Amino acid sequence: MADKAEFGTEDLRAAAAAGILTESQASAVVVLAQSRAGKRLAQSGEDEPFEFFRGFAEIFIAVGLSILLSGSLALLSWVGLTSGLFLVVPLATSGVVWWMAGYFTLRRRMVLPSMILAAAFGIGLCTFVLGWMAQGDFPNPRLMLIYACLAAAAGMGIWYWHFKLPVAMFMVGLACLGALYGVTLSTGVVFDLQAGRLNFGSLFDLRNSPDFALATLIFGIGAFLAGMWFDMRDPLRLGRHAATGFWLHLLAAPALVNTMALTLYNIGGAVGMLSVALALAFIAALALIIDRRSFLTAGIVYIAWVISWAIRGDSHGGFGQWIAILLILGSFITALGTWWIPLRATLMATLPDFPGKSRLPPYSETS
C-alpha cells in the first residue's frame, strides 16, 4: 500500500507563490490547523524564506539578459550624451524589459532573471531623466541626482504593484535613499569624496555629519516600519509579503546599525565601547524578537570591535590576540545561528504580551 503524502507548510507556500491561494488565505489555513491541534507550532524550518534562483536554467537566462543589457549600455556610450538617441535608448530598453518581465516574471516565475529585469527598468528610467536634464542645460547636479532617484523610485513602485516582485521594494528603498542623500549631502562631503579623503566613521555620526547621518537614521526607521508592516501581514512567512519584508529589513539594518554604532563609538574610550555593546545587545534582542538575522549581520563588524577592545584594550595587540578575536567572534556568530530558534523561544516566552506580539512569526513554547 502506497504511503500517504503529507500536506504541509511548504505546499501552502507553493500554492501562495503560484497564485492559487493568497498569503492571507494560506496563513489562515495554517493558523486553523494549529489551533485545532491545541498549540501554536514552530515554523518547520530555521531559515528565512529567500531565494536568488531556483535552478541553473535561471542562471543561464540571467547571463544572457546581462549580456543583452550590457549591449544597451554600450549603445548609450556610442551615441553620446548630446545625441537624441541617448534619450530613446533607455526608454526603449525600459519598455523591452517590461515586456520581457511579463514572460519571465509573470509566466515563468523566474527569480534571478526577474531581479535583473527590474534593476534594468529602474536604471533605464534614471538614465533617461539624467540625460534629459543634461541635454536641457540643467546646471545643478544635486537636483539632477534627486529627480533621477525619485523617477527610479516611482518606476520601481509601479513595477512592484504590477509584477508583485519583492526585490522591487528593495530598489524603491535604494532610490529613495539616493534622493535623501542628494538633499542632505553637503558640498564639503562631496569635496572630500572627490579628493579621496572621506571619513566613513564621521559620515554616519549624528554629531559630525548631522544632516547626512539623520537622513540615514530616518530612512532606516522608515524601512524598518515598512518591513514590519509587510511581516505582520504574513507572520508565517508563506509568500510575497514576508519576502518583501526581508528586502526592506536588509535596507533598514545597515542604515540603523551604522548610524547608532558609529555615533556611539566616536564618543571614544570605555564609555563609547560600552555604549556600543549595549546598543548591540538591544539590536540582538530586536533581531530575535522579529526573527530577522539581517540586523545582527549588519552589526558583525561592531561586535568584532567590542570583542577586540575587551581583549586588547587600547594596545595594538599581538598576533595571538587577533587569533583569539577571530575565534571568539566566529564561535559567537556560529552559536547564535545554531541556537537561534531556542534562544528566540526563550526570549519571546519571557517577554510579556505587547501590541503586535501575536502577529510576529510563531515560536516554540517551552514548558
CB 97 within 8 A of CB 121: yes
Interval 89-106: pLDDT, tens:
888 899 999 999 999 999
pLDDT at 2 (0 to 100): 39
SS3 217: helix
DSSP string, 100-130: HHIIIIIIS--HHHHHHHHHHHHHHHHHHHH
The type of residue at 215 is: A
- Sole residue written with cell 545561528: 337
Handedness of CA 43, 44, 46, 50 (dihedral sign): negative
CA distance 327 to 343: 21
Angle at 224 between CA 166 and CA 111, to 5 degrees: 15
Average pLDDT across the chain, whole number? 82
CA distance 31 to 236: 9
CA distance 163 to 159: 6
Given a cut of 50, is residue 42 above it in pLDDT? no
CA distance 324 to 277: 19
Given a cut of 90, is residue 60 above it in pLDDT? yes
C-alpha cell at 144: 539632477
**Residue range 327-342: average pLDDT?**
89
pLDDT at 206 (0 to 100): 83
DSSP string, 262-294: HHHHTT-HHHHHHHHHHHHHHHHHHHHHHT-TH
Q: Which residue has the higher pLDDT, 83 or 152?
A: 152
Interval 184-215: pLDDT, tens:
875 445 445 555 555 555 678 888 777 888 89
Q: Which residue has the higher pLDDT, 254 or 13?
A: 254
For 137: left if phi > 0, alpha if psi spans -120 to 50, otherwise beta; the answer is: left
Interval 304-319: pLDDT, tens:
888 888 887 666 666 6
CA distance 255 to 167: 18
Interval 268-286: pLDDT, tens:
888 888 999 999 999 999 9
Q: What is the dihedral of CA 253, 256, 262, 263, to 10 degrees?
A: -170
CB 266 within 8 A of CB 207: yes
- Sole residue written with cell 525600459: 94
Does this model's pTM top 0.85?
no
